[in-house]
């Protein structure tokens, strides 16, 4: 897949650099993979912490986070922190498959494949931040990541060296922890204001309900943070619910920032929570918004997106006039930017990971009314390399204080690694599946393919906080149903199409539903309705017309809410306490066809 003509200065022939001018000098044709290798070399060189292992925190931090300013317009980007105020461990996926034109392309590279493509040395701190490789040992060596007090220190450092820089939040900020659930997102609202967020868009925010979102936007955010989304309109008259974009001047340059909320919110989440609002990709509306921003004098147009990276890549090829897309939703920590050609130019596409692990820094050189050059860096947030900001640490302690004892209550001892991310399953989800089946006496269990949730190392205590990190949603109801074999297959086919549809506009960006008890085969490259086969329960083929007892949680229907099922944490917590010690979970994984040489498999 050629990206078109990549323009490089003649002086750069045969060299690699993270800086990519967008002007017209000499020309060479590169495949997307070759282009990303050119762009990635030097971008995150993979400097290890071993050389600083015995140095004090100041010198180590300076070495890791030294980032000279560049250009005259800068944007800082965070996304999908999922309400993680404190430092955590988070294992990146070992399975993130891409097929067709996306096979071997970002974001569908994991482990060593990702490191090689981006010029990152294995065994370094950067390699640990980006991959699952040697996760337990590396986590012990480099410590926890993220934490708003440490992120605040990094944001202040970047803003001090980049006057006028804007901090953009890609959403999924008010959901994902016990405290965010219990305070209806207020803990994160206060933290975002103190952090200095300038603009944000959303997704999981809407599961707090329309009234709560509008209350925050109209009151807490007034005069402080702009909530933007060009693709949310009222069902009745098609009026915009939020500002589609804002214009900000940075060092004399007029910049437009457009918001794009998650297009499939009413499908992936309960529709009744945002019943009056319509979503969607709204590509035509996006083009009109870009054109309007340009007509009002914008020299730079940036899209703050919660589409998911594959959708952003397609959008960038079809909508003209966007200089950069700062993306989220799919939690892809991409150390290099992708450059996508369209009929009138090129668009920079990035994605800044999740859980507060990263801060993206996009520096633009704007000359003669257009972007002529840029640099992009994805900075990992290592808690032991960045001193905690005192003001943010005090705020975190204050908002957590009423819940600290509740969060810290031990439930069991963890004997194995617990994590969530991966296309088909994770040990944290397996724990939930095992509990659902055992407690409810079910033959089969389903757990959603969420990508948020923190990781626990062997020997760590499973606390109520970790359980809430894995389950804290506003529709946590457990279910126990009779389903026919044909219904079970239809459910798996539907979710598989959401994940593996060859058209990114039909992908919803999560992972495959996690399955307990049942085994099956999956061919991701088959057509819709024909990807799932070989379903077996206890070694026997699933019968299409027979009923099976199926446990689950997080139903999106309003009927399920009225049914009054027990919240998932109320079911799992007694199970954990009764066990006392949780052995290494044995993953129930499908047999997946056609992936032997896929670099999305680690």
Residue found under tokens 């083929």: 541
pLDDT in tens, 349-388: 999 999 999 999 999 999 999 999 999 999 999 999 999 9
Determine how β-strand 518-522 pairs with β-strand 532-537: antiparallel
pLDDT in tens, 399-452: 999 999 999 999 999 999 999 999 999 999 999 999 999 999 999 999 999 999
Determine how β-strand 345-351 pairs with β-strand 370-380: unpaired
For residues 58 and 392, what is the distance between their CA atoms, to the nearest angstrom? 19
Q: State the pLDDT at residue 564.
A: 86
Q: State the pLDDT at residue 357.
A: 98
Say whether 162 sits in a helix, a strand or coil.
coil
CB 550 within 8 A of CB 446: yes
CB 104 within 8 A of CB 34: no
What would you report as the CA-atom Rg of the chain, rounded to the nearest whole angstrom? 23
Q: State the pLDDT at residue 231.
A: 98
CB 485 within 8 A of CB 548: yes
Asked if omega into 422 is within 30° of 0 (cis), the reply is no
Q: State the pLDDT at residue 216.
A: 98
253, containing H or E segment: strand 253-260
For residues 60 and 384, what is the distance between their CA atoms, to the nearest angstrom? 9
Q: pLDDT tier at 63 (50, 70, 90 boundaries)?
A: confident
**What's the token pair of residue 21?**
């001018």
pLDDT, average across residues 4-18: 27
How are strands ordered across the β-sheet holding 514-516? 478-484, 547-553, 444-447, 514-516
Q: Can you list the domains of the chain with their CATH numbers?
A: 42-58+72-88+144-388 (3.60.21.10), 404-592 (3.90.780.10)
Determine how β-strand 166-169 pairs with β-strand 73-78: parallel
Angle between helices 568-579 and 464-471 (to 10 degrees): 140
9 CB neighbour count, 10 Å cutoff: 13
**What's the token pair of residue 418?**
């617990």
Global pTM?
0.92
Longest pairwise C-alpha distance within the chain: 70
pLDDT in tens, 566-579: 999 999 999 999 99
What is the phi-psi region of residue 139: left when phi exceeds 0, alpha when psi lies from -120 to 50, beta otherwise?
alpha
pLDDT at 5 over 60: no
- Cβ within 8 Å of residue 572, ≥6 positions away: 431, 432, 435, 436, 439, 467, 471
pLDDT at 341 over 90: yes
Which residues pair with residue 382 across a beta bridge?
145
CB 259 within 8 A of CB 245: yes
Q: State the pLDDT at residue 351.
A: 98
pLDDT, average across residues 389-407: 98
Burial per residue of 313-352, b for 16 or more beta-carbon CB atoms within 10 angstroms, e otherwise: bbbbbebbbbbbbbbbbbbbbbbbbbbbebeeebbbbbbb
pLDDT in tens, 510-561: 899 999 999 999 999 999 999 999 999 999 999 999 999 999 999 999 999 9
Q: State the pLDDT at residue 44.
A: 41
- Please name which of 205, 208, 186, 181 lies closest in space to residue 259, comparing C-alpha atoms: 205
Residue found under tokens 């925050």: 216
CB 108 within 8 A of CB 36: no
For residues 308 and 330, what is the distance between their CA atoms, to the nearest angstrom? 5
Residue found under tokens 């009151």: 219
Which residues pair with residue 581 across a beta bridge?
413
Q: Lowest-confidence range among 59-73, 113-127, 317-331, 526-540?
A: 59-73
Beta strands in 368-489 (DSSP E): 370-380, 410-414, 444-447, 461-463, 478-484
CB 216 within 8 A of CB 175: no
Determine how β-strand 324-327 pairs with β-strand 166-169: unpaired
How are strands ordered across the β-sheet holding 253-260? 245-250, 253-260, 300-305, 324-327, 345-351, 338-342
Portion of the chain with pLDDT greater than 90, in percent? 89
For residue 73, CA distances in Å to 23, 81, 375 come to 17, 25, 11
Q: Of how many residues is the chain composed?
A: 602
For residues 37 and 338, what is the distance between their CA atoms, to the nearest angstrom? 10
Q: State the pLDDT at residue 235.
A: 98
pLDDT, average across residues 293-297: 98
- Please name which of 376, 381, 336, 386 lies closest in space to residue 359, comparing C-alpha atoms: 381
pLDDT in tens, 217-246: 999 999 999 999 999 999 999 999 999 999
**What's the token pair of residue 298?**
């914008």
> Average per-residue pLDDT in the chain?
91
**What's the token pair of residue 519?**
């085994």
For residues 264 and 574, what is the distance between their CA atoms, to the nearest angstrom? 35
């Amino acid at each position: 897949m050629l990206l078109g003509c990549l323009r490089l200065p003649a002086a750069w022939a045969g060299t690699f650099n993270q800086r990519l001018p967008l002007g017209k000098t000499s020309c060479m044709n590169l495949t997307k993979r070759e282009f990303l290798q050119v762009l990635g070399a030097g971008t995150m060189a993979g400097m290890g912490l071993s050389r600083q292992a015995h140095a004090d925190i100041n010198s180590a931090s300076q070495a890791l986070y030294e980032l000279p300013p560049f250009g005259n317009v800068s944007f800082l980007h965070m996304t999908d922190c999922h309400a993680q105020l404190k430092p955590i461990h988070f294992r990146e996926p070992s399975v993130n498959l891409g097929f067709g034109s996306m096979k071997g392309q970002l974001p569908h590279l994991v482990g060593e494949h990702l490191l090689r493509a981006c010029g990152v040395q294995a065994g370094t701190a950067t390699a640990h931040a980006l991959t699952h490789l040697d996760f337990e040992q590396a986590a012990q060596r480099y410590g926890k990541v993220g934490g708003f007090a440490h992120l605040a220190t990094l944001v202040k450092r970047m803003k001090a060296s980049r006057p006028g820089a804007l901090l953009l939040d890609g959403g999924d900020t008010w959901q994902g922890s016990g405290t965010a659930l219990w305070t209806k997102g207020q803990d994160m609202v206060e933290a975002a204001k103190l952090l200095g967020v300038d603009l944000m868009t959303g997704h999981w925010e809407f599961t707090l309900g329309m009234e709560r979102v509008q209350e925050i936007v109209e009151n807490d955010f007034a005069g402080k943070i702009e909530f933007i989304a060009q693709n949310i309109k009222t069902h009745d008259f098609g009026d915009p619910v939020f500002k589609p974009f804002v214009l900000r001047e940075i060092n004399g340059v007029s910049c437009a920032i457009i918001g794009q909320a998650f297009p499939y919110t009413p499908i992936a989440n309960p529709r009744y929570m945002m019943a009056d609002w319509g979503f969607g990709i709204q590509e035509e509306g996006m083009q009109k918004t870009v054109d309007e921003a340009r007509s009002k004098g914008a020299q730079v147009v940036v899209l703050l997106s919660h589409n998911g990276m594959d959708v952003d890549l397609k959008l960038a090829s079809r909508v003209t006039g966007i200089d950069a897309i700062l993306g989220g939703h799919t939690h892809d920590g991409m150390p290099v930017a992708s450059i996508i050609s369209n009929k009138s130019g090129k668009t920079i596409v990035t994605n800044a990971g999740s859980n507060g692990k990263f801060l993206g820094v996009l520096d633009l050189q704007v000359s003669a009314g257009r972007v002529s050059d840029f640099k992009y860096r994805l900075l990992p947030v290592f808690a032991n390399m960045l001193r905690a900001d005192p003001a943010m640490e005090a705020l975190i302690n204050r908002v957590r204080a009423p819940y600290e004892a509740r969060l810290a209550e031990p439930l069991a001892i963890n004997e194995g690694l617990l994590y969530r991310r991966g296309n088909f399953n994770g040990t944290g989800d397996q724990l939930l599946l095992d509990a659902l089946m055992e407690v409810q006496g079910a033959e089969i269990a389903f757990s959603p393919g969420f990508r948020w949730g923190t990781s626990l190392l062997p020997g760590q205590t499973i606390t109520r906080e970790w359980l809430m990190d894995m389950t804290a949603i506003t529709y946590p109801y457990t279910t126990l149903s009779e389903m026919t074999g044909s219904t079970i297959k239809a459910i798996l086919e539907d979710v598989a199409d959401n994940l593996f549809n060859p058209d990114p506009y039909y992908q919803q960006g999560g992972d495959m539903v996690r399955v307990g008890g049942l085994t099956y085969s999956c061919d991701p490259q088959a057509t819709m309705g024909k990807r799932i086969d070989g379903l077996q329960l206890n070694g026997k083929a699933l019968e299409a017309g027979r009923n099976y007892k199926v446990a689950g949680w997080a139903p999106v229907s309003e009927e399920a809410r009225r049914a009054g099922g027990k919240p998932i944490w109320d079911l799992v917590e007694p199970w954990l306490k009764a066990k006392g010690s949780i052995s290494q979970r044995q993953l129930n994984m499908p047999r997946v066809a056609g992936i032997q040489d896929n670099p999305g498999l680690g």
